[in-house]
Amino acid sequence: MRKEIVSGVYPTMLTPFNEDQSIDYDALKRLVEWYIDRGIDGLFAVCQSSAMFELSREERAKLLLKTVEYTSGRCPVMASGHVSDTIEGQIDDMKAMEAAGADALVLVSNRLAAPWESDKVWLSNLEKLMKGLSDDIPLGFYECPYPYKRVLSTDVVKELIEMDRFEFIKDTCCDPEMITERAAASKGTKLKFFNANAATLLFSLKEGYAGYSGIMTNFHTDLYYRLCHDWKEMGADANELQNYLGMASTIECQFYPANARYSLMKEGVFTNLISRRQDARLRQMTASQKMEIDQFYALSQEMSQKYNNK
């Protein structure tokens, strides 16, 4: 029985690798426990942070299968893995994810049309794709920035609501005005928006967003859980925590995901910085970058102690 996609925090999962670049399933199990121990509402597996573009379909399916196994039903697991160029290939991508136990399938917005193609083309391709998917599994969308970023228009969002199949959108618009429009359009429907942008998180929660699903959960998941669940009761502390999370998220620009892997090594979850991403293979973190993460990690620990003891 599939688990409901509830509001809250959905980490964009990393994939740990062994020295030979095979998936390290022992570290994956530790990672699942690390997320759950720090307060999450679900997991977003086989996404860009998971190196889905660098994994084969078989690897993506096994990665999800093991993630579902390790959660042992404690939380819903959504999955993407929607990477193929053709509609036929995308259907096979999603069927593999469904067979591996996904509670919801998350489509990637840039896979359905080229950057210069219209929403009409995009919606036509979505219709073709959906005909190849099971009728009973919830669907979502992820405005993935790779290979190009396609932000869903308000008109497209309204079309998705009308289809009554979509329950999750990972929002990367980073635009307060658009956040307000999206929140208003989805109010009272089954479609939930999850912000991926830390700077606008508290604003989006106040507008009616369901939670957070972004890469900073790989550094301090618990702080996002606290803000998403308790912001109404926190008073001025919510603003202080938002200020920290917004500024802390600039570490994304340093050397992600290597810096998140390094942070998780400090937690005893990962054992190395091995990645399949080309930029990470060609260079490693500098000593200065590691010191920055050491200091960032120490500050996050202090904030976690402060807000989790209140």
pLDDT at 282 over 90: no
Task: Give first-to-last CA distance, the chain, whole Å.
Answer: 36
Per-residue pLDDT for 308 more than 60? yes
* pLDDT of 30 above 70: yes
* C-alpha count within 13 angstroms, C-beta hemisphere, residue 286: 5
C-alpha distances (whole Å) from 13 to each of 43, 78, 257 are 7, 10, 11
> Token digits for 44?
């977003």
Q: Please, how many CA atoms are within 13 Å of residue 77, restricted to the half-sphere of its CB?
A: 29
Of residues 203, 152, 205, 149, the one with CA closest to residue 177: 203
Interval 54-82 mean pLDDT: 97
% of the chain surpassing 90 pLDDT: 94
Answer for the pair 180, 204: CB distance below 8 angstroms, yes or no.
no
Res 273: pLDDT = 93
- pTM of the shown model: 0.96
Q: Which of 34, 6, 40 is nearest to 192 (CA)?
A: 6
CA-to-CA separations, 262 to 18, 75, 290, in angstroms, rounded:
15, 26, 8
Tell whether the model's pLDDT for residue 1 goes beyond 90. Answer: no
Judged against a pLDDT cut of 70, whether residue 112 lies above it is answered with yes
pLDDT, residue 279, reads: 56
- In DSSP terms, which residues pair with 106 in a beta bridge? 140
Backbone angles phi, psi at 108, to 5 degrees: -100, 125
Tokens standing for residue 242 = 């938002």
Residue with tokens 């999850």: 194
Dist. CA 102–CA 95, nearest whole Å: 10
Structure confidence at residue 2 (pLDDT): 76
Contact present, 59 and 92 (Cβ < 8 Å): no
pLDDT tens digits along 139-168: 999 999 999 999 999 999 999 999 999 999
Q: How far apart are CA 217 and CA 38, in angstroms?
A: 10
Q: What is the pLDDT of residues 214-268, one digit of tens each?
A: 999 999 999 999 999 999 999 999 999 999 999 999 999 999 999 999 999 999 9
Q: Which domains does the chain have, with CATH numbers?
A: 8-250 (3.20.20.70)
pLDDT at 310: 61
